[in-house]
Structures are given as structure tokens and as C-alpha cells.
């Protein structure tokens, strides 16, 4: 069996990176350990909790269920691409405004899922918002505030000309 | 790095994928969405020596009408199935069942064919493939073959697919325009694996149900049709008594497991309640669709 290292090229938040990985390295581990992008959190590591959600070629994906080598040539977006402490991204600001942050562990995953929702899905009503968020778990149970943040973001999106 | 060591090949074509699998000595695995395979690899329940990634193969991401059947390619993801206009028009029961498949992020990656090959007894797309007389197209270096769905599932997570075969597409029967359907599922959290689900198809002819199909999932080792319950309804007046008799025969035919989520008795109870609703919905839709 060959246990070789492979060189891959990935664009993350607009920057190109060359990384050497073993085929079995998970994308979540590559982001955190090889590139120091620790904003992507790792919770359950089998696709239940949603903490590790990133965008892969524009759609949300579990980075703990994706191999880094599968993302060779792909465009990845992580929570680091959303904004900074001084200039929060729009989704981050909505979380802050609605007290949706709580302990913050699940937050990056929620932010990335919501970014996918805003870009790729037309939702109406709280039921659809809750369903769209149902793949992300918040152990602080801050759901009401998170739903309120999404509600505002969707309202804002709909009112845009 | 949670998975065990493996070699990784990004297949350039179906033939390439088949060659790599043939060389893997029965130990290769195909990855498309990986939403079921990767958790199993992370737990080291599955340790393939070679992982063949089919994501870069062109032409496998199409849904098309071939004759009177719908062909779903191996890279058609759940979100594509959910939005596909051909499926919504010709097999609306699949569109209805898709609403229960996992969560948004998993639907972005997971594939229809991958779900069927994974053969989880509580997954919706294997059940839909049983319901719509699916045929699985498999390719290996030995040639192509088509596996009818009634020869495909062999148990929980077990199929008759050979380890060197790659699935390229699954064909489904289309529903006649006057066919009504019902689909009801119960899960602890929306999108989680079902504790039980029932799907029903029927037409209405001279005031009576015809071509009745009833399928269940989460109630045995594999998704299955329930012919005894179908027979009770077929061609008979759909009275409360008929429905009650069909529900009884369905409850008698299923063999659910007890696990930490639910007891067998509770699952059997759910099966009856869900069947009643699904039969009602199918009849209502069949009445609306009956030609004047």
C-alpha cells in the first residue's frame, strides 16, 4: 500500500495555497492544522453537528466528511473570509445584533450554512428557516436568536432591489 | 487523521474507475458524495485500500428521460433530485420523499445513487427505488450489467453489487399522470434517519383504487413492498374498513428492530399510523387526477 504525500492546490477565501497532504487527511484537519485556519470548528467528526461547515465551490459542505485531496483545485470559503473583529461580515453582524452567538463553538458552522442559504435558497417563513438550519447543532440551544438573525437577513435580502 | 491509510485515485472516466477497482483486489471503494462512506471511514468501520473518486467524471450528473423511464446519473446530488422538474413531473413521490433526506449541507454533496448503494434500511431513496421498479446500471472491466432492484438489496447495508463494479446510473419507472401518491415519515429530528416511513401509489378507476403500491422503510432489514396490504386495497371500495384491514396486514408484515431510538412495538404502531395517512393522501391525489 502506498502512503504517499500528495501536493494539492486550493483557493481559500480568495488566496491560493499549495499544501502537501496524505490522501486520508480530512479537509477540516488540513484547514486547522496545516494552514492554521482554526475558525472552522470540529465537533462530532461524523457529519451530525455541522460545526465544521465550509463552502466548497459555493455550496455548504461538511469539512469533516470531505478529504483535503478531494478539494484539489476547488474554491473553499471559511468563516475567516466573512469579516474581521473590526469589520464583521453581514451574517456575523446579524448574529451579534440578535444575541445569537452564545458560547460561539457552533457559530462558524451556522454562519457558513446561512451564507449558503442566502446565496442559493429562497426560504419563506420560520418553518423553512428552522428546517434549513436543522443540520447544525447548538449545545447552548441558542436557536431562537439564530432564527431571528436569519429572519432579518432574509428580510433584508428580499427588500433589496 | 481519522480514516485508516488508503490510496486515492481521481477517476477520469467510468472505464478508469472500473480499472482501478479491478486492481484493488475487492478492497476498493467508490466515493461520490461520501456522506455515508466518510463517517464509516472516520469510525474505521470501513477501511478501503483504494478510494476511487468519481466526482470528476463528466456526464454522470444528469437526470434524463430514457424511453418511459427516468435515468438518474451517479453524480446527481440530493439537492438536484429535489429540484429536478422531470422528477417532479414524472415521479412526484420522489420529490416528496426528498424533503426528508438529511439536511441542506448533506444534500449538497450526497447522491441518489450513493444512497441506494449504501442500502441503509431507513433511507428514502432506496425505498423510492423499490417503489419505482429501479434498475441499477453497473460497470466493471468484465462488462456492463443491469441489476433489477428486487435482486439488489441483500440486507442492511448489503447489496448484490460486486466489489469491482461502479454504478453509473439508476433507472426509475415514471408514474402515470393520474397516479396519486402519499409519503409519510417519522424521525426524531427533521432530516434524521426515519424511525419509520410509508409510501403509497394508486390510480382511481370507476371509483376504485387500481395499481396500488405500498412500500415501507425503517421497518426491517431493507426497504420493501407490502403485497398483502396492496391486495387488500386493489380494486376494492376504499372504505374505512378496507383501510383498517390494509393497515392491519401491513403491521403484520413488517419486522422492525428495537434499538436505542425506538422499540419494535413503537415502530409497528408508527407504521400503521403513517400507512393510514399515506393511503388517504394517495387516494385524495388520485381523485384529483382522475380523468373526467
Supply A10's cell numbers: 486550493
**Res B190: pLDDT:** 79
The beta-carbon neighbor of A131 closest among B105, B108, B190 is B190
Rounded Cα gap, residues B132 and B276, in angstroms: 21
Q: Which residues of chain A have pLDDT under 50?
A: none
Rounded Cα gap, residues B166 and B195, in angstroms: 30
The beta-carbon neighbor of A132 closest among B31, B51, B104 is B104
**Res A2: pLDDT:** 52
Kindly list the residues of chain B whose beta carbon comes within 8 Å of any beta carbon in chain A. 1-8, 10, 31, 34-35, 38-39, 42-43, 49, 51, 53, 55, 79, 102-106, 108-109, 189-191
Give B115's strand partners.
none
Percent of the residues in chain A that have a pLDDT greater than 90, as a whole number: 93
* Cβ contacts of A10 within 8 Å, gap of 6 or more: A16, A17, A19, A68, A71, A72, A73, A74, A76
ipTM: 0.94
Residue found under cell 434549513: A132
CA dihedral (A51, A57, A59, A64) positive or negative: negative
Query: Chain B residues with CB inside 8 Å of A70's CB?
Result: 31, 34, 53, 55
Chain B nearest C-alpha distance from A46 (Å) = 5
Half-sphere exposure of B2 (CA within 13 A, CB side): 23
A-interface mutation test, from B105, B111, B190, most A Cβ less than 10 A away: B105
**With contact defined as beta carbons under 8 Å apart, do B103 and B191 qualify?**
yes
Rounded Cα gap, residues B235 and A132, in angstroms: 41
**With contact defined as beta carbons under 8 Å apart, do A157 and A115 qualify?**
no
**Res A3: pLDDT:** 65
Rounded Cα gap, residues B289 and B227, in angstroms: 24
Ordered DSSP codes for chain A: -----EEEEEEETTEEEEEEE-TT-BHHHIIIIIT--TTS--SSSSSSS-TTEEEETTEEEEGGGSBGGGGTT-EEE-GGGT--SSS--HHHHHHHHTT--TTSSSHHHHHHHHHHHHHH----HHHHHHHHHTTS--TT--HHHHHHHHHHHHHHHHH--
Which stretches does DSSP call E strand in chain B?
7-10, 28-31, 50-53, 63-66, 69-73, 135-140, 143-148, 153-155, 158-159, 166-173, 180-186, 196-205, 208-217, 224-225
Query: Chain B residues with CB inside 8 Å of A2's CB?
Result: 7
**Beta strands at B28-31 and B50-53: parallel, antiparallel or unpaired:** parallel
**Res A126: pLDDT:** 95
Q: pLDDT per position in chain B (292 positions), as tens? A: 689 999 999 999 999 999 999 999 999 999 999 999 999 999 999 999 999 999 999 999 999 999 999 999 999 999 999 999 999 999 999 999 999 999 999 999 999 999 999 999 999 999 999 999 999 999 999 999 999 999 999 999 999 999 999 999 999 999 999 999 999 999 987 778 899 999 999 999 999 999 999 999 999 999 999 999 999 999 999 999 999 999 999 999 999 999 999 999 999 999 999 999 999 999 999 999 887 6
Closest CA to A112 of A87, A91, A131: A91
Q: For residue range A69-91, list pLDDT tens digits in order.
A: 999 999 999 999 999 999 999 99
Chain A, nearest residue to B56 by Cα: A70
Three-point CA angle B124, B126, B129, nearest 5°: 110
Selected residues 66-95 of chain A with any CB under 8 Å from a CB in chain B: 66-67, 69-70, 72
Residue A125, chain B, CB below 8 Å: the answer is no
Report the predicted TM-score, pTM, of the whole model to 2 decimal places: 0.96
Closest CA to A132 of A31, A53, A27, A58: A53
**With contact defined as beta carbons under 8 Å apart, do B116 and B161 qualify?**
no
Q: Give whole-number Cα distances, B291 to A98, B210, B271, B286, B288, in Å.
A: 53, 14, 31, 10, 9
Amino acid at each position: 500500500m502506498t502512503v504517499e504525500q500528495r501536493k494539492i492546490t486550493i483557493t481559500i477565501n480568495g488566496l491560493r495555497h499549495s499544501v502537501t497532504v496524505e490522501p486520508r487527511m480530512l479537509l477540516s484537519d488540513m484547514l486547522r492544522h496545516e494552514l492554521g485556519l482554526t475558525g472552522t470548528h470540529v465537533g462530532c467528526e461524523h457529519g451530525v453537528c455541522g460545526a465544521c461547515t465550509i463552502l466548497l465551490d459555493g455550496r455548504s459542505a461538511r469539512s469533516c466528511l470531505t478529504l483535503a485531496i478531494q478539494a484539489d483545485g476547488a474554491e473553499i470559503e471559511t468563516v475567516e473570509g466573512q469579516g474581521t473583529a473590526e469589520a464583521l461580515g453581514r451574517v456575523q453582524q446579524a448574529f451579534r445584533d440578535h444575541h445569537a452567538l452564545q458560547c460561539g463553538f457552533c457559530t462558524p458552522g451556522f454562519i457558513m450554512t446561512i451564507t449558503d442559504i442566502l446565496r442559493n435558497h429562497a426560504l419563506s417563513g420560520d418553518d423553512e428557516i428552522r428546517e434549513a438550519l436543522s443540520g447544525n447543532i447548538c449545545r447552548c440551544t441558542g436557536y431562537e436568536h439564530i432564527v431571528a438573525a436569519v429572519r432579518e437577513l432574509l428580510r433584508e435580502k428580499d427588500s433589496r432591489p | 487523521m481519522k480514516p485508516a491509510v488508503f490510496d486515492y485515485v481521481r477517476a477520469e472516466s467510468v472505464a478508469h474507475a472500473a480499472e482501478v477497482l479491478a486492481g484493488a483486489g475487492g478492497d476498493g471503494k467508490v466515493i461520490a458524495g461520501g456522506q455515508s462512506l466518510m463517517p464509516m471511514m472516520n469510525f474505521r468501520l470501513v477501511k478501503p485500500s483504494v478510494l476511487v473518486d468519481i466526482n470528476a467524471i463528466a456526464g454522470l450528473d444528469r437526470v434524463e428521460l430514457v424511453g418511459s423511464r427516468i435515468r438518474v446519473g451517479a453524480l446527481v446530488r440530493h439537492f438536484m433530485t429535489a429540484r429536478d422538474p422531470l422528477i417532479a413531473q414524472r415521479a412526484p413521490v420522489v420529490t416528496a420523499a426528498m424533503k426528508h433526506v438529511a439536511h441542506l449541507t448533506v444534500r449538497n454533496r450526497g447522491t441518489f445513487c450513493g444512497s441506494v448503494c449504501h442500502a441503509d434500511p431507513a433511507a428514502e431513496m432506496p425505498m423510492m427505488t423499490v417503489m419505482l421498479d429501479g434498475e441499477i446500471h453497473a460497470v466493471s472491466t468484465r462488462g456492463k450489467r443491469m441489476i433489477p432492484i428486487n435482486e439488489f438489496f441483500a440486507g442492511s447495508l448489503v447489496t448484490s453489487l460486486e466489489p469491482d463494479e461502479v454504478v453509473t446510473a439508476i433507472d426509475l419507472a415514471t408514474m402515470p399522470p393520474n397516479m396519486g401518491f402519499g409519503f409519510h415519515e417519522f424521525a426524531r429530528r427533521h432530516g434524521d434517519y426515519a424511525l419509520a416511513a410509508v409510501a403509497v401509489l394508486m390510480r382511481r378507476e370507476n371509483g376504485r383504487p387500481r395499481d396500488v403500491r405500498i412500500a415501507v422503510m425503517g421497518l426491517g432489514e431493507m426497504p420493501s413492498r407490502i403485497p398483502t396490504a396492496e391486495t387488500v386495497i386493489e380494486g376494492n371500495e376504499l372504505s374505512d374498513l378496507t383501510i383498517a384491514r390494509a393497515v392491519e396486514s401491513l403491521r403484520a408484515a413488517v419486522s422492525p428492530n428495537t434499538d436505542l431510538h425506538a422499540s419494535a412495538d413503537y415502530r409497528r404502531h408508527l407504521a400503521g399510523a403513517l400507512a393510514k395517512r399515506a393511503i388517504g393522501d394517495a387516494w385524495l391525489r388520485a381523485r384529483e387526477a382522475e380523468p373526467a
